[in-house]
């Protein structure tokens, strides 16, 4: 049995009577109407689904942007606090290191002074990169260093003996020579 196309049904209804009986014709027409309704329902359903899909995609995008913005805004203060803490920790490490160097120099200078004039000793030490100046004034050793906030602070150690000399402020390993000159101690590299 050959089923005619849709255009044949609409254009030439006489063909229908030729191929189908009346009962079959009603059943075929009801099926066609049902198929038409189903196609319409399916088309409307999928159109609605496409609209929902695009709306959901837009909603997800807005939620992502909102969450990303919130996380970014919360991260900025954390980064600022982190770098501030890193700077203060670096400053405290540097000041402690310079204090230890100054104490080591004054202790060794006192030892060499009390041993007498031909005495001499060498200290191996590491200078950090933020030293601005090193001064020896009568009985004090003064290290001037730059902090992370670009202020210059001083670290000093007081000795019982007169100290003279000069040291370079280059960062890195230094061999400091301490020599007794009788009434004072000379410090050089």
Asked whether residue 46 is assigned to any structural domain, the reply reads no
Q: 10 Å Cβ neighbour count for 125?
A: 14
Domain assignment present for residue 150? The answer is yes
Task: Inform me whether the pLDDT recorded for 175 exceeds 90.
Answer: yes
Asked whether residue 43 is domain-assigned, the answer is no
pTM confidence score:
0.60
In a domain, 19, yes or no: no
Whether 116 is covered by a domain: the verdict is yes
In a domain, 119, yes or no: yes
Give the pLDDT confidence score for residue 90 in this predicted structure: 87
Report phi then psi at 116, rounded to 5: 115, 180
Q: What is the β-pairing status of strands 120-127 and 131-137?
A: unpaired
Cα(139)–Cα(119) distance, integer angstroms:
19
Residue 124 lies in a domain: yes
* Residue 144 to residue 146: CA distance in whole angstroms: 7
Under 8 Å between Cβ of 105 and 154: no
Instruction: Please give the average per-residue pLDDT across 152-158, as a whole number.
Output: 89
Assess if residue 13 is contained within a domain: no
Q: How confident is the model at residue 100 (pLDDT cuts 50, 70, 90)?
A: very high
| CA 153 – CA 142 distance, rounded (Å) | 10
Domain ranges, residue 140? 104-188
Secondary structure of residue 15 in the 3-state scheme: helix
What is the number of domains present in the chain? 1
User: How many whole angstroms from its chain centre is CA 78?
Assistant: 10
**Rounded-to-integer distance, Cα 19 and Cα 4, Å:** 9
pLDDT band at residue 138 using 50, 70 and 90 as cut-offs: confident
Contact 169, 127 (CB under 8 A): yes
């Amino acid at each position: 049995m050959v089923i005619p196309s849709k255009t044949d049904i609409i254009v030439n209804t006489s063909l229908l009577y030729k191929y189908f009986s009346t009962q079959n014709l009603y059943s075929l027409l009801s099926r066609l109407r049902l198929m038409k309704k189903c196609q319409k329902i399916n088309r409307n359903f999928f159109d609605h689904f496409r609209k929902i899909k695009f709306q959901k995609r837009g909603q997800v995008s807005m939620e992502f942007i909102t969450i990303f913005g919130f996380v970014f805004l919360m991260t900025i203060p954390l980064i600022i606090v982190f770098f501030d803490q890193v700077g203060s920790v670096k400053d405290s490490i540097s000041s402690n290191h310079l204090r230890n160097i100054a104490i080591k120099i004054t202790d060794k200078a006192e030892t060499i002074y009390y041993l007498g004039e031909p005495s001499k000793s060498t200290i191996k030490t590491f200078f950090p990169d933020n030293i601005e100046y090193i001064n020896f004034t009568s009985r004090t050793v003064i290290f001037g260093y730059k902090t992370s906030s670009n202020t210059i602070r001083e670290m000093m150690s007081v000795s019982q003996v007169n100290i003279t000399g000069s040291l370079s402020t280059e960062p890195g390993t230094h061999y400091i020579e301490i020599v007794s000159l009788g009434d004072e101690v000379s410090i050089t590299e």
